[in-house]
Amino acid sequence: MKNVKKIFLFLIFFAFLALGLSIRYTIGYGMFVEGQFVGVVRSPSEADAITEIICAESHASALSTTLYPRLLVRDTFTPAAEVSENTRSAMGIETEIITLTEPIPFGTGTVEDAGMYQGTEAVTTEGVDGARTVVKQITKMNGSILQEKVLSVSVSAEPVAEITTVGTKPRPAGVGTGDFTFPLSEITVSSNFGYRWDRQHNGIDFAADAGTAISAADSGTVIFSGPSEGYGNLIILDHQNGYTTYYAHCSILYAAVGAMPEKGEVIAGVGSTGNSTGPHLHFEIRKDGAPQNPLEYLPGIV
């Protein structure tokens, strides 16, 4: 009877001991990723959940993960956030926050001005780009960018729109637009503007057959039409905007003084009068009386 009682007490003791162990101790899993210890998780399913999330973030197909069971006190598990961060580190994943200043392109607009002639325009307000501050989260894996996420955007300077004023006033006859076109239908440059033959050449020469039609490079008023020493037969157009154009060595003059030819209207024919070695048009553009390089005003000539 005494032996039975001893056995019973012994069983009770071991029952309480087992109960204490089950309350205080449990089985955990040491988790290793790419051979690096990242923490202790409660179960394989927790490890799977962590690795699935990180694989989705990094576009990795799989991770080299191993689990080792271990007996642990319950409060010695590694928090899931820490396991995740350690796993990212083991994979070479890093995150940084950067702040950038980016331009905001300016817009454009137009306003009409009844005091300016039609076909003329001017920029009256210069456009200015604005600026914004962008805070981004950059996630990289072994130096390669996986993801860029914009955390915040704030405008530090508003852009200023560029405003162009456009004329609406009807243009009277004899007033130029300020834009020039070719005085001949076919262009062959035979001599450029600048210093040549020990003197300044104030225009450009266009080679052409005798009699080829010469047209006004812009609308204007004829202020000279006739022979003029080395120029030969010459027409001068005043465009009433500070510009004048010269058409020299003509064989025939169609526009008389006082005429108001429109842009593109025929005013003379190509010739070889005056100081000329062959049929061509000597063409000049002057601004406030000063010779200009016509190549800077005529489109498409190189």
Segments making up each domain of the chain, as ranges: 2-91, 98-169, 189-296
> Predicted confidence band at 58 (pLDDT cuts at 50, 70, 90)?
confident
* pLDDT greater at residue 269 or residue 296: 269
Phi, psi (5° rounding) for residue 229?
Answer: 45, -125
Gap between the Cα atoms of 56 and 52, Å rounded: 6
Domain 98-169 has CATH 2.20.230.10: yes
> Predicted confidence band at 14 (pLDDT cuts at 50, 70, 90)?
low
What average pLDDT does the segment 252-275 reach? Answer: 96
The side-by-side arrangement of strands in the sheet containing 213-215 is 213-215, 266-269, 252-253
Structure tokens at 280: 């061509």
Q: How far is CA 244 from CA 3, 72, 122, 222, 262, in A?
A: 135, 99, 21, 10, 14
| pTM reported for the whole predicted model | 0.53
What pLDDT is attached to residue 142? 82
Q: With H, G, I as helix, E, B as strand and everything else as coil, classify residue 15.
A: helix
What average pLDDT does the segment 72-90 reach? Answer: 86
CATH architecture, domain 189-296: Distorted Sandwich (2.70)
Q: What is the mean pLDDT of the chain?
A: 88
Domains 98-169 and 189-296 share a fold: no
What pLDDT is attached to residue 118? 84
Predicted confidence (pLDDT) at residue 22 exceeds the cutoff of 80: no
What average pLDDT does the segment 147-163 reach? Answer: 94
* pLDDT greater at residue 98 or residue 144: 98
Specify the residue for token string 């309350």: 23
Contact 51, 67 (CB under 8 A): no
What pLDDT is attached to residue 94? 86
Least confident of 12-26, 59-73, 139-153, 228-242: 12-26
Q: pLDDT tens digit string along 31-49?
A: 999 889 999 999 999 999 9
What pLDDT is attached to residue 93? 87
What average pLDDT does the segment 241-247 reach? Answer: 96
What pLDDT is attached to residue 21? 47
